[in-house]
Structure 1
Amino acid sequence: MTADPVLPVGAMLGEGPVWTGDALWFVDIKGRLVHRFDPVTGDARQWSAPDQVGWVLPSTAGDMIAGVKTGLHRFDPATGAFTPFHDPEPSLTGNRLNDAATDRHGRLWFGSMDDAETEATGRLYRHDGSCEDSGLAPVVITNGPAIAADARTLYHTDTLGKTIWRVPVNDDGSLGAPERHIVIDGEGYPDGSVTDAEGCLWVALFGGWGVRRYDPAGTLMVTVRFPVANVTKMAFGGEGLRTAYATTARKGLDAAALAAQPHAGDLFAFDPGVAGLSVTPARV
């Protein structure tokens, strides 16, 4: 499989793609932008965020929840307003929120990271009425998280450790003991991930020129090559959730690399050969 560019945005750090039923939403973290793309009409819009924004996800209130450097915000696309409502790490001013997902119960799982990418201050949190530390060991950059369809397994990524952990989820949302599930050998670092309708895990590779699909046992099944090095996260969208969309980044590329990768930072799409899972709005 190969991926093709579908929207030229030139994001410095594209991230967080999510399909809401009629359009794809994603962000440019370093550009402080929220994007919306309708692949049927070609309509593309963007909103400015008040700080670095790691993701936006739909909420049961009809607006969106945004992970901004300064904490969780409500984002209203109708007005463009961002309203802060919870900062999980008020004393860690060097951290920012990085990636997130909801499970089928509407619980919001999100992680933080050291913005300088040096200190192990990144943690994973759960918000389902109140915000709780997941209890997993802190790392420099948290990524994923991805949740199985039955919401009983969570995949948590330690990007710089090049490791994806498989973690059981209890009925009350607490986590069991993590198990090392996938270790990325060779080129690239595991970035965002998402599960499909067959229970497999798709992992984007920053610096790895593509995405990989792993079966539930952690065995590599498919590699999709991209013409750009930094692939950050994938989402399923379109009719039947059978189109894969992926964000990419220009971050870390020098002038020669950018000249060789003219589509770095753009939005890509490909046929994954499998359907994805619908996104449950966050019950925050």
Structure 2
Amino acid sequence: MEMTLKVDRVVDAQSKLGEGVLWDARRQVVWFVDIKRHLLWHFDPVSGSNAAAQAPGQIGWAIPAEGGKLLCGLQDGLHLFDPATQSFEFLTKVPGEPAGNRLNDACTDPWGRVWFGSMDDSEAQGSGRFYVFDAGEIRPAGPSGIAITNGPAVNAQGDRIYFTDTTSQKIMVADLTSEGVGAARLFADTGALFPGAYPDGPVVDAEDHVWSGLYLGGRVARFSPDGELVASVPIPARDVTKMAFGGADMSTAYVTSALKNLEAADMEHYPLAGGLYAFDAPVKGFAQARAKLG
């Protein structure tokens, strides 16, 4: 079940809270964020170059959008990022979001809709919920009353969407169509499998299996379409947040991690923590659709 693969740290990002990793198929680069340091990173795996842009607040995710810019989720709402000018432009607030909340994770579906979650920035109150950004409008869609949301993640066919309730150690699944989303049901109770760890960002591979980072778990875990744990890959970080597939053939796994809760003694065990990691995945992923802005 546990796979011993060669995992390399490809960016020494020293992320307090690395998240939102994804592959930009058009630019052939990896994007990821450091939420607490307000940074949007990019990494070119061919040249090895990397750099970070300063966001105007806590940034949870950045997704390539039509027109060449990136749609980003920040604490105060949605922004557009222009890679050419390294500048952010405010787009819209998320209606009804409490002032103490922030946006945390996101994905697109095959129709270019953007699914994202909010959460209590103090990670205590069940004030978070999921939304969809569709045709320029934001509306609630999916579970609510969650302290720490992660995901969503949509499969390649676009008929399933996964929502993570990190605090409750549960991954949920719902049916998805071009018309909308169905009721969420339990997919995997990760607390029964990894009692001391918490499911973080999910992603779906080309074989319809779900991968999840495990915060406090030091690994990513792979689940079959029926929610059975089938594999895990140790990562040289304790607090593993999210995985994405990338590379020219979509067979490289990229993984983010966090430093914010590590003490000096923890760093002795995880000296590479806070980085962006890569390994040759045993299965391929698929490229996400670009976000439609209207």
| Structure 2 residue matching 1:259: 3-state secondary structure | helix
Structure 2 match to 1:266: 275
Q: Is structure 2 residue 122 aligned with structure 1 residue 93?
A: no
Post-superposition offset of 1:273: 1.0
Post-superposition offset of 1:170: 3.3
**CA–CA distance in structure 2, aligned partners of residues 171 and 242 of structure 1:** 28
Q: Is structure 2 residue 241 aligned with structure 1 residue 232?
A: yes
Structure 2 match to 1:108: 114
- Could you tell me whether the CA contact under 8 Å between 2:217 and 2:239 is conserved in 1? yes
Structure 1 match to 2:19: 15
Post-superposition offset of 1:259: 2.7
Post-superposition offset of 1:178: 1.3
Post-superposition CA distance 1:29-87 (Å, at most 9, x none): 00100001001101111100000000100001210001111110011111121111111
Give the 3 Å change call, closer, same or farther, for CA 90–178 of structure 1 in structure 2: closer
**CA–CA distance in structure 1, aligned partners of residues 147 and 15 of structure 2:** 23
Q: Is structure 2 residue 149 aligned with structure 1 residue 149?
A: no
Structure 1 match to 2:56: 50
Give the 3 Å change call, closer, same or farther, for CA 90–176 of structure 1 in structure 2: closer
Correspondence list, 1:185-264, <5 A: 185=192, 186-264=195-273
The amino acid that maps onto 2:145 is: P
Of residues 125, 140, 144 in structure 2, which corresponds to 1:133?
Answer: 140
The amino acid that maps onto 1:168 is: D
**CA–CA distance in structure 2, aligned partners of residues 170 and 237 of structure 1:** 25
Give the 3 Å change call, closer, same or farther, for CA 243–135 of structure 1 in structure 2: closer
| Structure 2 residue matching 1:134: 3-state secondary structure | strand
| Structure 1 residue matching 2:128: 3-state secondary structure | coil
| Structure 2 residue matching 1:136: 3-state secondary structure | strand
In angstroms, what is the RMSD of aligned CA positions? Answer: 1.1
Post-superposition offset of 1:279: 1.4
Post-superposition offset of 1:227: 2.1
Of residues 120, 123, 131 in structure 1, which corresponds to 2:126?
Answer: 120
Post-superposition offset of 1:171: 3.0
**CA–CA distance in structure 2, aligned partners of residues 209 and 89 of structure 1:** 36
The amino acid that maps onto 1:78 is: A
Give the 3 Å change call, closer, same or farther, for CA 67–275 of structure 1 in structure 2: same
Unpaired segments ≥5 residues, structure 2: none
**Shift >4 Å, 4+ stretches:** none
Q: TM-score, normalised by structure 2?
A: 0.94
**CA–CA distance in structure 2, aligned partners of residues 37 and 158 of structure 1:** 29
Structure 2 match to 1:167: 174
Post-superposition CA distance 1:162-218 (Å, at most 9, x none): 000111113312x21211010112231000010010100001000001000111011
Unpaired segments ≥5 residues, structure 1: none
Q: Tell me how many residue pairs correspond in the alignment.
A: 283
The amino acid that maps onto 1:240 is: D
Give the 3 Å change call, closer, same or farther, for CA 212–248 of structure 1 in structure 2: same
Structure 2 match to 1:65: 71
Post-superposition offset of 1:91: 5.1
- Could you tell me whether the CA contact under 8 Å between 2:127 and 2:144 is conserved in 1? no
| Structure 1 residue matching 2:171: 3-state secondary structure | strand
The amino acid that maps onto 1:48 is: Q
